[in-house]
């Protein structure tokens, strides 16, 4: 296996942005800080977040209700501070984006508008390995419309003996059966395998078949470059607590393509913040929604939840997705090389696609024996390596380019070599 000195040299040549984050202490091993490769589950706290959040809290202390207009960052239009950077992050126009609520709530609000089954076109297409909340959401939407979720929800499975979906299989199904599909709703990066779906190709095929195409970008936003407007995506939503480092349960982003904005034919749930800002305080009983994604914004923004998102988006603006993507490809490739050396003699298999263009900052490893959670626990408490386990047999490692290092990757491989027995 490559030695530790090489990893150190790589970090010296390419230091990254680790200094901008708080690193957890190691629970085990010989290093003071954890090798944190669980950012695909919960990102680390930026050092700037605490002071920025306390500044918003201080405005409440000093100003009370007047903070809506007189705070340094006034609360009334606070959500607008997030719009432009969020739009840049996902390749959208500002009018197409709003940050609000949590991810599954937003998916439901969007499906109110965009899942409209009629006649033979009723089915919802998702991947079989979709995150459970997506499965629950689409099944409940089918039931809400009086449909049988077991026949309405079509679960795309990899070919026998394979771990990830082939784009051609998705396209072939849409070409053959697209007239029955009302909604395509896939994960941009699959949470379990780390596969990056071909978003533009699948979107084009779905729309050509007459379906609406939406994307859950929970594992894609802040992880891979996105161009939602140019790819002609109908809608999308993402959380901001994984690669976007905005804290546990942090707010979600929403994208609605501009061709849908201002369409009076679209059904939509509304609330106080769904009406145009200029007349909001006239307190009229009938909403006048703007021709922007803010028309889907039901409630007033939670200021203390928005602060960490704003801080994080400023960081992404400063570093830039092209630079992060380049570093991500290099880090993930280095980790892959080390894992190949370790797995050559051990029952470990990387199930994430080998092609860097088909993955983000994640490598999922299938273990041949024992419990994934048990292995993750040993990695943490014996070696100070924090990863994420998905039972029964997948351990996920995310070399997040903002704060992970080549030495972190080396520590993962070194810990696996020490923890997993050589095959007989």
pLDDT at 241: 98
pLDDT at 385: 98
* CA separation for the pair 60, 81 (Å, rounded): 18
Architecture (CATH level 2) of domain 4-47+320-419? Alpha-Beta Complex (3.90)
Q: Is 402 helix (H, G, I), strand (E, B) or coil?
A: coil
pLDDT at 29: 87
Answer CATH for 77-318 from 3.40.640.10, 1.10.10.10, 3.30.70.260, 3.40.50.300: 3.40.640.10
Is the pTM for the entire model greater than 0.95? yes
Beta bridge partners of 181: 123
* pLDDT tens digit sequence for 102-111: 999 999 999 9
- Quick one: how far is CA 301 from the chain centroid? 21
* CA separation for the pair 301, 254 (Å, rounded): 14
pLDDT at 423: 80
Would you state the structure tokens that stand for residue 89, as one six-digit string? Answer: 């992050």
Residues of the chain with pLDDT under 70: 1-2, 424
Would you state the structure tokens that stand for residue 87, as one six-digit string? Answer: 């739009």
| 415 neighbors 407 (Cβ within 8 angstroms) | no
- Topology match between the domains 4-47+320-419 and 77-318: no
| CA proximity to 263, closest of 237, 290, 299, 230 | 290
**Domain layout of the chain by residue ranges:** 4-47+320-419, 77-318
pLDDT at 335: 98
pLDDT at 178: 97
* pLDDT tens digit sequence for 163-210: 999 999 999 999 999 999 999 999 999 999 999 999 999 999 999 999
């Amino acid at each position: 296996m490559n030695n530790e000195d090489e990893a150190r040299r790589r970090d010296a040549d390419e230091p990254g942005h680790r200094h901008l984050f708080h690193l957890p202490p190691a629970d085990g091993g010989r290093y003071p800080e954890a090798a944190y490769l669980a950012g695909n589950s919960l990102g680390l706290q930026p050092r700037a977040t605490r002071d920025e959040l306390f500044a918003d809290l201080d405005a409440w202390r000093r100003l009370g209700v007047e903070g809506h207009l007189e705070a340094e960052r006034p609360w009334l239009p606070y959500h607008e501070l997030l719009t432009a950077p969020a739009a840049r992050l996902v390749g959208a126009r500002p009018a197409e984006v709003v940050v609000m609520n949590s991810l599954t709530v937003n998916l439901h609000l969007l499906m109110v508008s965009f899942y409209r089954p009629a006649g033979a076109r009723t089915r919802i297409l998702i991947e079989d390995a979709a995150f459970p909340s997506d499965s629950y959401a689409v099944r409940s939407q089918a039931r809400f419309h009086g449909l049988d979720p077991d026949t309405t929800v079509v679960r795309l499975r990899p070919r026998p003996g394979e771990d990830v979906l082939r784009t051609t299989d998705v396209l072939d199904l849409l070409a053959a059966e697209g007239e029955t599909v009302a909604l395509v709703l896939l994960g941009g990066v699959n949470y379990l395998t780390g596969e990056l779906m071909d978003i533009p190709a699948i979107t084009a095929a779905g729309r050509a078949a007459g379906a609406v195409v939406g994307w859950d970008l929970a594992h894609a936003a802040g992880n891979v470059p996105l161009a939602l407007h140019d790819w002609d995506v109908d809608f999308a939503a993402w959380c901001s607590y994984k690669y976007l480092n905005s804290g546990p349960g942090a707010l979600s982003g929403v994208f609605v393509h501009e061709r849908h904005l201002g369409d009076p034919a679209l059904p939509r749930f509304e609330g106080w913040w769904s009406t145009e800002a200029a007349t909001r305080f006239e307190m009229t009983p009938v909403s006048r929604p703007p021709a922007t994604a803010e028309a889907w914004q039901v409630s007033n923004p939670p200021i203390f939840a928005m602060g960490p998102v704003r801080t994080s988006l400023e960081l992404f603006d400063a570093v830039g997705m092209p630079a992060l993507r380049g570093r991500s490809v290099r880090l993930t490739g280095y980790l892959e090389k080390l894992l190949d050396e370790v797995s050559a003699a051990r029952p470990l298999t990387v199930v994430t696609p080998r092609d860097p263009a088909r993955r983000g900052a994640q490598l999922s490893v299938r273990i041949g024996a024992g419990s994934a959670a048990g292995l993750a626990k040993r990695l943490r408490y014996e070696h100070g390596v924090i990863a994420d386990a998905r039972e029964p047999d997948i351990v996920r490692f995310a070399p997040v380019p903002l704060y992970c290092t080549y030495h972190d990757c080396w520590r993962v491989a070194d810990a696996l070599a020490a923890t997993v027995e050589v095959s007989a």
